[in-house]
Structure 1
Amino acid sequence: MNSALTFDFAPLVPWPLLLVCAAVALMLTCLGLWRHARGTLLRAAVALLAIATLANPVARREDRSTLPDIAVVVVDESPSQGIADRQRQAEQAEAALREKLGAIENLEVRVVKAGKAAAETADRDEGTRLFSGLTLALSDLPRHRVAGSILVTDGQVHDMPAEIAAAQDVTGAPVHVLLTGRPDERDRRLVVRNAPTFGMINQDINVVLRVDDTGAAPNETAELRFRQQDAGERVLQVPVGRDVTVPFKLPRAGRSLLEFEVAPIQNELTPLNNRVALSVNGVRDRLRVLLVTGEAHAGERVWRNLLKADPNVDLVHFTILRPPDKQDGTPIRELSLIAFPIRELFELKLNEFDLIIFDRYRRRGILPTAYYENIARYVERGGAFLEVSGPAYATPLSIYRTPVSEVLPGRPHGTMRTEPFTPQLSAIGKRHPVTAGLPGSVGENGQPTWSRWFRVVNVDVTRGNSVMESPNREPLLVLDRVEKGRVAQFYSDHIWLWSRGYEGGGPQSELLRRLAHWLMKEPDLEEEALRAEAKGGRLEVERRSLTERKEPVTVIRPDGSETRLTLEDQGNGIASGRLPVELPGIYRVRDGERETVATMGAINPKEFSDPRATPAVLKPLADASHGSVRWLQDGTPDIRMVDKPTRSAVREQAGRNWIGLYRQNDYVVTGLTLTPLVLPLAMLTALLLGMLLMWRRESR
């Protein structure tokens, strides 16, 4: 508590009126002097005395309570601060600053943690927002009490204003920067220059990369590892500092993960920016389908209409109406049938088809045995084959009696049941992505709400998974993997009843759509799959399996630390779990059999684009505010309170081992005493005396 004495005025009339009176008195005095009027000076003295009386000069005595100055300390908590021993340096500097600032009398300390992205923005590439943290800390502080700001950071700040004047206007006091890290750091990083988000399958796709190394020698090379989902690993030698094009092909449609990793160097700052993961969606140009109908029947149009409805499908459809050796007396000129091009389809162009469908096909002496063998080899090399069995599958004319049987999962008994039944999902079918959760699979009574079928061929399933069955456990739909290819087999040809809406129908379109996508190896329909995605500050892990698995998955963070995540069963063969994540980079998830990766943040995150500690970003602000930049490896500086400089004399705000903060000397007035300097009675007496003298003077 202290006091101050100043002089002021407490006018008895408004200032404008007082100024008008003074102006009139001045004009009259000047006029009197110009005309040499007698008593002018005496009149001027009386007017001055009257104006002084109306101005009412007072002595102002203020009782003041001194307010403490405020020092703001901003500690960088961005991910790059976790590199090397920067975090330890920052913690030690924070403790030392708290101690030194706390020892200064009449100084309040505000410590702010900044630079760490919020959970909802963790997957955005915002970098280190340190200046935003400083601005927020200063926003609720009186500007005339801020003694200065001290930033503890590695210098990698990504939200600095373009104009230093704007930044200086926010701070209004010295800004001192204490840098973590070392000035001689070296780092190698992998940068994605150009990456596609999608590409045509089985066509060349290019990713452009560059390896940057701050201390690389001329013409130096680096080892680059390229891992592609379902395609193994490649090792390349690439030049440092130059763009490199890496070609690859996508073997299937859907999302494929690509991972690139460059070998680290000795004493490297961090390996976090040596790895990059990309997700590229494979797209089919056109899906080529061969549909062969053995004989015309009521359900023939089901497959044709389904495939024709998709504009991305090129359909080749043949229905065998009569064998070439049939003799029925029909004149040649009346025949309008197209000859079945068996050699072109099953020898020359077989591998050009993505999917082959045999609908109620039976042996009729049209296809030689070698062509059936071609179909089996086609499947083994990665093709897709769908067989819809009709009554002929249970007869000696069954295609199971051909080399195609090598890839067919069902061996016919030679019998067939023709009683009505309602199809249902098997235990595996309730978990398989092709059939799990099909509309109407579970009604109010726990049974399917689908319409009935009336025929099923009895078979023994020798391989694959039976996903649909009759109430008597007779297989209706079996899915199987044969080496690189896939096979699906229906043992009833009555699915067309669903498309006609018989007894309410069933999910024919959805089932056949899923079935076709599974045969095409769409990743979303893999029955054994592990997926991970990082978004919104969370890592979401999903595991699909045909068996119930309770073991947790292992999550490996970008910094190499591991944690176990237990997945909860969600039904339909899916188990999922969430894990809060903060660090940008590649997260690897393993469950013992499979492994997948997820990327947090941008492909080339600002935070690690150049993780070396640097004074370059903040030095202009420090210089403009008369602050300083120094390295914490030289120790935490002492702190001094200095007087705020005037415009004409800018004093030094930092020294060799000290930094200065302004002594603002701000205060709040707790009491006010006004003492008039002129006594009213005395002034009135003086005015009367002056007027008397004027009257006497002018009466002569």
Structure 2
Amino acid sequence: MIPSGLDIAFAPMLPWWGIAALGVASLLIVGLALWRRARGAWWRFAALGILLLALANPSVIAEQREAQKDIALLVVDRSPSQRIGERMGETDAALVEIRNRLARMQNLEVREVETGSTGGGLSSDREGTQLMTAAEQALANIPRRRLAGVIALTDGQVHDTQDAGELPGAPVHTLLTGQRGEADRRLVIHQSPTFGMVGKEVAIRLSVEDESVAQGTPVTLTLRRNGEAAQTAEVPANEEVEVAVMLDRGGQSIVEIDAEQGPRELTLINNRAVLSINGVRDRLRVLLVSGEPHAGERTWRNLLKADPSVDLVHFTILRPPEKQDGTPIRELSLISFPIRELFEVKIDEFDLIIFDRYKRRGVLPRLYLGNIAEYVRQGGALLIAAGPDFASPISLFQTPIGDVLPAEPTGQTTEEGFRPIISELGRRHPVTAELSGAGRPGEQPGWGRWFRVIDTAPRSGTVVMEGGGRPLVVLDRVGEGRVAQINSDHMWLWARGFEGGGPQAELLRRIAHWLMKEPELEENDLRAHVQGDQLMIERRSLEPAAETVSVTLPSGETVEVALTEGGQGRATGSLTVEEAGLYRLTDGERTRLVTVGAVNPLEYADVRTTATRMGPIAEATGGGLAWIAEDGMPDIRRVAPDRRTSGQDWIALRENGDYVVTGVLNLPLLPALLTLLLALGALLAGWLRESR
């Protein structure tokens, strides 16, 4: 501690205006005495002055001060872009040299902070390098009077300079790694939809930016959708273009886009973009053909009309060709069945075709029934709700449609009460698994009975429900399409609440969605989602088996995750995720892509070393900017606060000279006894002068 900071302070015994009034009165008295040439006037003036000064009560204050070290903040960029090329080595070498130089400086404390290092969380890449934010947080604990300056070691790719708060009142110096004039090819997504209509194309606006090639140079793009076979397209470099992608399924679709390697590359990571687009169906177009009026017909119609997303076209054959009752056509409130328009011209426009108790009556020629079978093979959906005629010679099975049906009628129909039960495979199939009221295996379900089942022999597909020991609901895949066969026309009993009813609406909804290939109802599927820092994996299958799933991490490493059988056709496992990006899962047959965190990191949007982001901050604070790989390490100096803090090959830290007061010594200038003696002495001297 050093005594310094001497000062004179006043603690007046009277208000200053009172002392001023006494001073004026004293001057008048002394002035009158001098005007009358009285002897001893000056001594009286001295006595009054001493008394007035005593009333002001002056004292000498001496502060005990302790010098405080200045603080230099060193901010080190450890973001992923710093790992490109030799940047990290340049950073480490520069860091060692800076530490050594600053350690030799007197009265200086060095604090360090890193930004962008691993462990920043899955969302760290989404926000890029937050160097200024890290600096502001560190500066919050540093008194600004002690701040000597900030030195940042970075490649210049800092993404929070626009959001930086108040700049520190000290120089911010930037030392850049990397080289001037770097070039790199980058795939930039300007606009992409978050959802699109199934069966239609969505437009993605993008550009391939590359300073090393001329504008318009052809660049090959590779596109993959949900890990399927790749497609290629050529786009001009350095121009914004539009690329179309077809959505062929509902739910999430992962689109990968890769640009071919350029002549000069810093990294290939930013040659790739991953997009997540949700496929939604505009409206479900359903064609319902009822072979004849019956009790279940209205149930079908009410169910489909109640769904606002369904466009229903319903025809009921009220007057078959063999019906001859003599009623004139003009008196029938019927419309002709537009056979050709529905089953030849517009058949591909329907998402689902339902035949409800339809039988061969010559209404639909074999040619059009063959069109329906081909429609299924090409990806269409067909639902057969069979009635008693399905077991007769005029069965729909005896037409070309029979080639795509999974169960063949035996010619027998059983009409006795039974409760539909879920089969063993049905308890694993998502269409019938966990249906309300199904009960446990071996138990009778809690829903009402049906009274008719058409006996069939399954040829293919999966029997998910049984009635009286016979196949009741059979699901099958045919070519690119799907078929569902319900071997009874008594589902309407559930809709009427007979014996408590049953989940007919949920069952039919699931069957329709399975026919429409909705991902959540796939019976053999691999799926995953992120929950916290865990990648939750689920494998659905009809056959129980202990399995493992291979997971390819964004870094390219592959790990095996064991799955545990959990019932209801599910096997689950989990993996702790630490990297943001695209995870690729495969069980050998199916592949699933899952995005975790930022799949198109801002950190890799542009990895070229640049001075454009930190340059304005350095200029505004008087700091310097240097390319250490090319220009070498600048000299580091200490300068006074009013001097320049950077030059062509040097940077400086301020010498603030800050201190804290550890004690205060207060000494009165006029102690009471001394004041009394001086005042009496002056008065005595004045009296002696007058007495002569």
TM exceeding 0.5: yes
- 8 Å Cα contact 1:10-1:55 kept in structure 2: no
Q: Deviations over 1:221-263 (max 9, x none)?
A: 2111122348743212211111112223333444333221101
- The aligned counterpart of 1:72 is 73
Letter in 2 for 1:7: L
**257, 262, 266: which one pairs with 1:260?**
257
- The aligned counterpart of 1:692 is 684
- The aligned counterpart of 1:553 is 549
- 8 Å Cα contact 1:323-1:366 kept in structure 2: yes
- How far residue 359 of structure 1 moved from its aligned partner, in angstroms, is 0.9
Q: Deviations over 1:30-50 (max 9, x none)?
A: 796599545665454334323
**Residues 201-600 of structure 1 correspond to what in structure 2 (within 5 A)?**
201-229=198-226, 232-328=229-325, 335-442=332-439, 448-470=445-467, 472=469, 474-532=470-528, 539-548=535-544, 550-567=546-563, 571-577=567-573, 579=575, 581=577, 583-600=579-596
Change beyond 3 A, Cα 1:267–1:563: farther
* TM, length-normalised to structure 2: 0.89
- 8 Å Cα contact 2:537-2:574 kept in structure 1: yes
- The aligned counterpart of 1:614 is 610
- The aligned counterpart of 2:171 is 174
* TM, length-normalised to structure 1: 0.88
Secondary structure (helix, strand or coil) at the match of 1:454 reads coil
Q: Deviations over 1:167-196 (max 9, x none)?
A: 42xx22222222233323211111122222
Letter in 1 for 2:7: D
Which whole-Å CA distance do the structure 2 matches of 1:162 and 1:109 have between them?
Answer: 26
Q: Deviations over 1:567-615 (max 9, x none)?
A: 5555543445555556554443333322333445567643222221212
Which whole-Å CA distance do the structure 2 matches of 1:35 and 1:659 have between them?
Answer: 69
Which whole-Å CA distance do the structure 2 matches of 1:351 and 1:619 have between them?
Answer: 61
Which whole-Å CA distance do the structure 2 matches of 1:235 and 1:565 have between them?
Answer: 33
Which whole-Å CA distance do the structure 1 matches of 2:58 and 2:245 have between them?
Answer: 91
**649, 663, 666: which one pairs with 2:655?**
663
- The aligned counterpart of 1:111 is 112
The farther-off stretch of 57-66 and 364-373 is 57-66
Q: Deviations over 1:404-461 (max 9, x none)?
A: 1110001122223333332232233223222223223336996532222222222222
- 8 Å Cα contact 2:432-2:464 kept in structure 1: yes
- 8 Å Cα contact 1:639-1:661 kept in structure 2: no
Q: Deviations over 1:243-302 (max 9, x none)?
A: 112223333444333221101224411212211122333344443222111222211112
Q: Deviations over 1:303-334 (max 9, x none)?
A: 11111122332322222234213334556676
Change beyond 3 A, Cα 1:652–1:341: closer
- 8 Å Cα contact 1:120-1:536 kept in structure 2: no
- 8 Å Cα contact 1:5-1:59 kept in structure 2: no
- The aligned counterpart of 2:623 is 627
Change beyond 3 A, Cα 1:313–1:214: same
Change beyond 3 A, Cα 1:628–1:506: same
- The aligned counterpart of 1:4 is 3
- The aligned counterpart of 2:19 is 21
Change beyond 3 A, Cα 1:603–1:559: closer
- 8 Å Cα contact 1:115-1:133 kept in structure 2: no
Which whole-Å CA distance do the structure 1 matches of 2:107 and 2:546 have between them?
Answer: 61
**655, 665, 682: which one pairs with 1:673?**
665
Which whole-Å CA distance do the structure 2 matches of 1:528 and 1:489 have between them?
Answer: 20
Letter in 2 for 1:505: G
- 8 Å Cα contact 1:123-1:534 kept in structure 2: no
Change beyond 3 A, Cα 1:104–1:7: closer
- How far residue 695 of structure 1 moved from its aligned partner, in angstroms, is 5.3
Letter in 2 for 1:499: A
1:682 counterpart = 2:679: no
Change beyond 3 A, Cα 1:376–1:200: same
Secondary structure (helix, strand or coil) at the match of 1:511 reads helix
- 8 Å Cα contact 1:276-1:586 kept in structure 2: no
- 8 Å Cα contact 2:47-2:680 kept in structure 1: no
- How far residue 131 of structure 1 moved from its aligned partner, in angstroms, is 1.0
Secondary structure (helix, strand or coil) at the match of 1:374 reads helix
Structure 2 unaligned regions, length at least 5: none
Secondary structure (helix, strand or coil) at the match of 1:509 reads helix
Q: Deviations over 1:623-645 (max 9, x none)?
A: 33332222343598487562432
Secondary structure (helix, strand or coil) at the match of 2:23 reads helix
Secondary structure (helix, strand or coil) at the match of 2:384 reads strand
1:148 counterpart = 2:149: yes
Which whole-Å CA distance do the structure 2 matches of 1:451 and 1:238 have between them?
Answer: 62
Structure 1 unaligned regions, length at least 5: none
Which whole-Å CA distance do the structure 1 matches of 2:567 and 2:132 have between them?
Answer: 47
- How far residue 356 of structure 1 moved from its aligned partner, in angstroms, is 0.9
Change beyond 3 A, Cα 1:391–1:683: same
Change beyond 3 A, Cα 1:343–1:235: closer
Which whole-Å CA distance do the structure 1 matches of 2:689 and 2:439 have between them?
Answer: 123
- 8 Å Cα contact 2:155-2:609 kept in structure 1: yes
- 8 Å Cα contact 2:44-2:686 kept in structure 1: yes
1:160 counterpart = 2:157: no
- How far residue 534 of structure 1 moved from its aligned partner, in angstroms, is 5.8
The farther-off stretch of 325-334 and 73-82 is 325-334
Secondary structure (helix, strand or coil) at the match of 2:127 reads coil
- 8 Å Cα contact 2:216-2:239 kept in structure 1: no
The farther-off stretch of 689-698 and 380-389 is 689-698
- 8 Å Cα contact 2:23-2:52 kept in structure 1: no
- The aligned counterpart of 1:45 is 46
Q: Percent of pairs identical after alignment?
A: 48
- How far residue 398 of structure 1 moved from its aligned partner, in angstroms, is 2.0
- How far residue 342 of structure 1 moved from its aligned partner, in angstroms, is 3.2
**Residues 638-653 of structure 1 correspond to what in structure 2 (within 5 A)?**
640=636, 642-646=638-642, 650-653=643-646
Letter in 2 for 1:220: T
Q: Deviations over 1:519-545 (max 9, x none)?
A: 122233223333455686665544433
Change beyond 3 A, Cα 1:128–1:8: same
- How far residue 653 of structure 1 moved from its aligned partner, in angstroms, is 4.7
- How far residue 25 of structure 1 moved from its aligned partner, in angstroms, is 1.3
Secondary structure (helix, strand or coil) at the match of 1:416 reads strand
- How far residue 88 of structure 1 moved from its aligned partner, in angstroms, is 4.0
- 8 Å Cα contact 2:527-2:539 kept in structure 1: yes
Letter in 2 for 1:511: L
